[in-house]
Amino acid sequence: MKKTILFDFVVDKENQKITVKRSFAAPLDLVWAAWTEAEILDLWWAPKPWKTETKSLDFREGGRWHYAMLGPEGERDWCFFDFKKIEPQRYFSGQDAFCDENAVADDSKPIVKWFNQFTETEGESTLVDIELTFEDLAGLETIIQMGFKEGFTMGLENLDEYIQAQFYLRKQKKPDNNTRVCTYLNFPGNAEEAFTFYKSVFQTEFVGGIQRFDQVPSEAGQPPLADHVKKMVLHVELPILANHILMATDAPKEMGFEVNVGNNMHIQLEPESREETERIFHTLSAGGKISMPLQDMFWGAYFASFTDRFGINWMLNCQPK
C-alpha cells in the first residue's frame, strides 16, 4: 500500500473555486464505492463527532442524495446532492445545497457545484481530484467560515480509516474458493470477551490467532488510533461444530460504526462458482433489501450483502480459483 497521502487544498477567490486533490491507499473500485454508496458514505462523510444519515440515494444522472448531518447535541442539518453527469469509476458531477427534511432548498445558504474525478495510480492507490465552484465570492467565503476545510479534512480521514481496515481484513480471507458457510458477527468492542467464551464452550482454537486494529499498516499523515481501539479485534475465526466457522470483528463507534440488534450478525455463504453465487443472490434476495449489489470487489471476490424478506442478513463471497 502506498505510504504517502497526497492532500492539496487550494482556495481560488478570483475564480470563486476550491480545488482539492486527495489520494487514497486503495483500488479505484473501492474508493468509487465509498463516494457513491449510502452505507459507506454514512460511515465517513461527516466530521466526528457528527454523523451522516442518508434518507435516500438514487445514484444516476438526474438522481439525488438526500441526507442529514447529525450533531452530538441532537442537531440535524439537511442537505441534498443532485447528480448531473456520471461516468462510472471516472467522474461524477452535481450540485450540493442545504435544505429541509423534505428536500426544499434553503436559499439563504450557498449552492456548490462539484466535479469529482477518480484516477487509479500505482501501488493500489487512487487519486480524487475535486473542484467546487460557487455562484459568487460571498458563497465561497461563507462555506470557508462554516469550517468546510476542517470538516472535509476530518471526513477524508474517516474514509482512510475505513479503507485501511476493510483492505487489511479482506486480504486475510481464505485464498481458495472451496464452498463454505460462516457466521459473521459485529461487536461494539467486546469481540475478544465473546470469542474467549465461545472458545471455552466449543473447546477449539482460533484460526491464525486474533488480528487487532493496531496491525493495520499506518499511513503517513493519518491521525493515530486511540489506544483502546488499537486493542480491539479486527478479525477472528473460530471453528465450532461440523466445520462451521464463526467469524467476528469489532465495529468501534470511534470509526463511525453503530452496532445494534439487526446489524450484528450475517450468514456468510462462499459458493464455488459465480453462476451459483448469482443463483443464490437472485433467489434469496427477492423481496428483501439489498445493501450491496453483487459485484467484483477489490479483494478479488464476487460479493454481495443483503437482508432477505424475513429480516435475516446475508453475505455472499465467491473467491476465484
Angle at 265 between CA 308 and CA 273, to 5 degrees: 60
Kindly compute the dihedral angle of the four CA atoms of residues 304, 125, 319, 264, in this order, to the nearest 10 degrees: -40
Q: What is the pLDDT of residues 138-162, one digit of tens each?
A: 999 999 999 999 999 999 988 887 7
Judge if 129 and 200 occupy the same domain.
no
pLDDT for 36: 92
Q: Are residues 244 and 302 in the same domain?
A: yes
- Pair 164, 203 in one domain: no
Q: What is the mean pLDDT of residues 300-311?
A: 88
CA angle 62, 68, 74 (to 5 degrees): 170
- By mean pLDDT, which of 181-185, 217-221, 311-315 is the weakest? 217-221
Q: Are residues 309 and 205 in the same domain?
A: yes
Q: Are 158 and 267 part of one and the same domain?
A: no
Q: How far apart are the first and last CA of the chain?
A: 24
Of 107, 142, 170, the residue that ends a domain is: 170
CATH number, domain containing residue 268: 3.10.180.10
- Inter-CA distances, 257 with 210, 271, 272, 293, Å: 20, 28, 31, 21
200 and 225 housed in the same domain: yes
pLDDT in tens, 46-67: 998 899 999 999 999 999 999 9
Q: Would you place residue 2 in the very low, low, confident or very high pLDDT band (cuts 50, 70, 90)?
A: very low
On whether both 155 and 178 belong to a single domain, the answer is no
For the domain that residue 64 is a member of, what is the CATH number?
A: 3.30.530.20
Query: Do 17 and 93 reside in the same domain of the chain?
Result: yes
Q: How far is CA 309 from CA 55, 260, 285, 293, in A?
A: 21, 19, 7, 16
Given this model, what pLDDT does residue 173 score? 46
| Residue 2 falls inside a structural domain | no
Instruction: Please say if the pLDDT value at position 296 is more than 90.
Output: no
Higher pLDDT, 193 or 172: 193
Q: Residue 301: give the domain boundaries.
A: 174-318
As a whole number, mean pLDDT of residues 239-246 equals: 84
Tens digits of residue pLDDT in 244-277: 889 998 988 877 778 877 778 899 998 888 999 9
The pLDDT of residue 175 is above 50: no
239 bridge partner residues = 245
Give the chain's domain count: 2
295 and 178 belong to one structural domain: yes
Give the pTM. Answer: 0.57
- Is there a single domain that holds both residue 311 and residue 257? yes
